[in-house]
A and B are shown apart, each in its own frame.
Chain A
Amino acid sequence: MSDHTTERDWPLWEVFVRSRRGLNHQHVGSLHAPDAAMALRNARDVYTRRSEGVSLWVVPAAAIVASSPDEKDSFFDPAADKAYRHPTFYEIPAEVQHL
């Protein structure tokens, strides 16, 4: 990538939308914007124009620390055979929602 391109390209932002009160913000995608205020506005236009949300977060993609695909085995495989860690031995009352 030439210096020229780097200078022109806007930084990448990750977008999180809360679809309604009481739910968590969910990652919905990413976009380019020159700064945080414009990222929020772009997110509004790109990801909530069909009434998808009541709240938006934008996070600089560069600020996200991600697990490495190389560490996938040591990170995640040991959890695969520990059935006792899952709350599957309880009866869930019918009234409990969002579970």
Chain B
Amino acid sequence: MNTPATDGRPGGQEILLENVSKVWGAHKAVDDLSIRVPAGTFTVLLGPSGCGKSTTLRMIAGLESADAGRILIGGRDVTHLPAAERDLAMVFQSYALFPHLDVAENIVFGLKVRRVARDEREARLKRVADLLGLSALLDRKPSQLSGGQQQRVALGRAIIAERPVCLMDEPLSNLDAKLRHEMRVEIRALQKKLGFTMVYVTHDQVEAITMADQVVLLNGGRLEQASDPRALYQRPETPFAARFIGVPPMNVLPGALLADLDAGLAAHKVGLRPESLMLADRGPLAARVASLEYLGADMLIDCEAGGTIFTVRLPGDHDIAAGTDIRLGFAPQDLHVFDGTTGHRRDDLAAATGARIAG
């Protein structure tokens, strides 16, 4: 099950969630969730706030107990084990550095607790400090460090024990934009180098898309979609997934707007990304320009058709005024169809309609 890491150290372990639920009073924070996180991969739990992603992570960590279902790490059922026995590391949103201990003591805290010999501790501390650029800061207290440095100390504490699983709960949300970008790259590189299994919680789709091998999209405690970032963008399973990924979000329109093209769509919803719509004199979608937003490289046009407003993103500068009637077209593969009753993706309908456009 273990994937050997590049430098020969033991790699990550697979994490399995089977029908896990967590209930707070009458509110279902996590509802019958099943996820598989393959060994040695980087999985991001993504979703709006209150979707249950942090609760899910804390259940994996053992900081919350699951009310139903099973959690397996590396094939071992850990559902009822305390956090200390799950053999994992975690980075908290607030970093949770011990304020009365200096950087070195913070990093080796876990090794000391587990009675690792002093020489071994020192050697590992040196390695981790070098890796994270903390060597000059080892005798400082956390309050004397900048946010980015504190973040590195938290990372150091997580990786020094070389645990097979590392959990991160929105670790970058307290950093400024530039630092966040650097840390994104760094965390991803670290995970690849050390080979552990990463579960990473964020509400930021950019972090999810840029870092993840697998994105697990949650909404209201339920799984919307679990797939790699490309598939999430290209083949969203539900209208929620479609609108959560991509800026500006995908237009999800009543199928009746494309009834001229395919009468069968009328009962369903169609999804078209703003960037896949283009001006086409004989395009299937007739609309009126409601407003324009010029962004330099491209422009955003709010259009109105059949009482619905949707967004079109056109590259470059176009000479269009508000109130103009336009026609829009799209490539057959850019059409997404979602079932009118179940809300699920209907590739058969999309393919049929796509064939008409092509034909």
User: Are A and B genuine complex partners?
Assistant: no
Residues of B at the A interface (CB closer than 8 Å) are: none
Residues of A at the B interface (CB closer than 8 Å) are: none
